[in-house]
Amino acid sequence: MFYPRGLPQRRELAYVASHLATVEINGSFYSLQRPASFRAWYDQTPPGFVFAVKGGRFITHMKKLVDVDAPLANFFASGVLALEDKLGPILWQLPPQLPFDGARLDAFLSRLPRTTAAAAELAARHDTRVREENAVTTTGVDRPLRHAMEVRHATYHDPAFAALLREHGIATVVADTAGRWPLLEDVTADHVYVRLHGDKELYVSGYTAASLDVWAEKIRAWDGTGRDVYVYFDNDVKVRAPVDALALAARLPDVTGDVVAAR
């Protein structure tokens, strides 16, 4: 058990943040969140904490990356920028049914803002799905904005995909999915984004000591190239994610300043 018995749900984030350096916001994948939520998450976490934010499935799964100018504006206007200095990479997860299409992907990646100022400018073009009084369309300090892409179709085993991400400075998500979807380890940006969905059983199985040793060595090698490494466990059906995250972090005391591990 990770959470203390009787801990109210509203205090879980603060508890996680007292043990780990980052979490991945998953609710933003399913629906537009509220600025008040992002501000609350900011206030509940210590200085230096990092939030990765998952891009909306309306963009990736429903629109399939096409005709997404307004949806992208709505996503960034929904409060993402309220995370300020705690805003980490934006994760874009593509559906299993979407094969590699270089032209489609290039057009989408070209639309992604690379700074928070550019994201604010994009957010100002939101439509009525985000009410004007709720929209966050400004940023106090202009900061670089990172993106990562996770794919789930075999056609992405193509050097052209890695080349395209490298051209745009987008990280390839290294996704361990118990063999169900592609495991790509191309380094295509100034950061590495790892998602560990389960060693033997997707979303369920925990990671053995031996498998965590293997991942720790990979992370140490990426860190050695001067890149930040973001690691998120998504094997949370049996609350394995935070336990495994702590176990992995314990293996990396020499690189914890650059490597963040959590879910």
pLDDT band at 47 (very low <50, low <70, confident <90, very high): very high
The range of the structural domain enclosing residue 130 comes to: 9-262
Whether 4 is covered by a domain: the verdict is no
Alpha-carbon span 32 to 58, nearest angstrom: 10
Determine, yes or no, domain membership for 204: yes
Does 2 fall in a domain?
Answer: no
Q: What is the pLDDT of residue 205?
A: 82
Q: What is the mean pLDDT of residues 217-222?
A: 95
Residue carrying structure tokens 């749900």? 9
36: in domain: yes
- What was the pLDDT predicted at 238? 59
Tell me the average pLDDT of the chain: 93
Domain count, the chain: 1
Residue 1, in any domain of the structure: no
The pLDDT assigned to 161 comes to 98
Does residue 93 surpass a pLDDT of 70?
yes
Within a domain: 3: no
Domain-embedded: residue 60 = yes
Q: What is the pTM of this model?
A: 0.95
Stretch (H or E) spanning 138: none
Give the model's confidence band at 202: pLDDT under 50 very low, under 70 low, under 90 confident, else very high.
confident
Question: What is the full DSSP assignment across 5-23?
Answer: TT--GGGHHHHHHTT-SEE
Write down the pLDDT at residue 24.
94
Distance CA 59, CA 107 (A): 13
CATH number, domain of 254, equals 3.20.20.410
Q: Quote the pLDDT of residue 261.
A: 55
**Mode of pairing for the β-strands spanning 228-233 and 87-93:** unpaired
- Report if residue 256 sits inside a domain: yes
pLDDT value at residue 2: 81
